[in-house]
């Protein structure tokens, strides 16, 4: 019984876009998935090979062209054969953040434990 269509929540789970089918249903129901540029709000919406999905995740946007319908949630290598990734490349990371806190010259500031002992010896304590 091979069908030419599949539920969007099943396909998202088979393609390893989300960790669970429940999360796939919530993603589709919240309107974060577009099928051929049209918003979907039902996890039961059917997809077929050739459809283009735009998936909005918290930190990125994924654009996938469906190449095949899944039959199981297999390893990642198998899941990658279900789609062609059309997503734009991620933005290059900016320069690393500078170290927090001001820098001070060595020897300035509070004395070390060794320096404190020497000071105590000088004072006669």
Task: Provide the residue ranges of all domains of the chain, joining segments of one domain with +.
Answer: 6-85
pLDDT in tens, 47-81: 999 999 999 998 889 999 999 999 999 999 999 99
Mean pLDDT of the chain: 89
Q: Are 38 and 8 in contact (CB under 8 A)?
A: no
pTM (two decimals): 0.71
**b/e code 61-85 from CB counts within 10 Å (16+ = b):** ebebebeebbeeeeeeeebeebbee
Model pLDDT, residue 2: 54
Distance of CA 104 to the CA centre of its chain: 38
- The radius of gyration of the chain's CA atoms, rounded to the nearest angstrom, is 28
| pLDDT in the model for residue 59 | 85
**Per-residue model confidence (pLDDT) at position 1:** 43
Residues 10, 43: contact at Cβ < 8 Å? no
Retrieve residue 22's tokens.
């429940």
Structure tokens at 100: 């927090």
Q: Determine the pLDDT at residue 102.
A: 66
- Mean pLDDT per 10-residue segment, the chain (125 residues): 84 96 95 95 95 93 95 94 92 73 73 87 85
Look up the CATH architecture of domain 6-85. Answer: Roll (3.10)
């Amino acid at each position: 019984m091979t069908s030419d269509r599949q539920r969007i929540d099943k396909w998202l789970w088979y393609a390893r876009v989300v960790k669970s089918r429940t999360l796939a249903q919530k993603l589709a129901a919240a309107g974060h998935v577009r099928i051929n540029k049209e918003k979907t709000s039902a996890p039961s919406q059917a997809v077929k090979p050739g459809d283009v999905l735009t998936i909005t995740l918290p930190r990125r946007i994924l654009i996938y062209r469906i190449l095949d319908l899944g039959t199981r949630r297999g390893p990642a290598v198998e899941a990658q054969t279900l789609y062609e990734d059309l997503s734009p490349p991620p933005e290059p990371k900016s320069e690393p953040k500078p170290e927090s806190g001001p820098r001070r010259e060595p020897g300035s500031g509070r004395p070390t434990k060794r320096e404190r002992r020497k000071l105590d010896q000088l004072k006669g304590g």
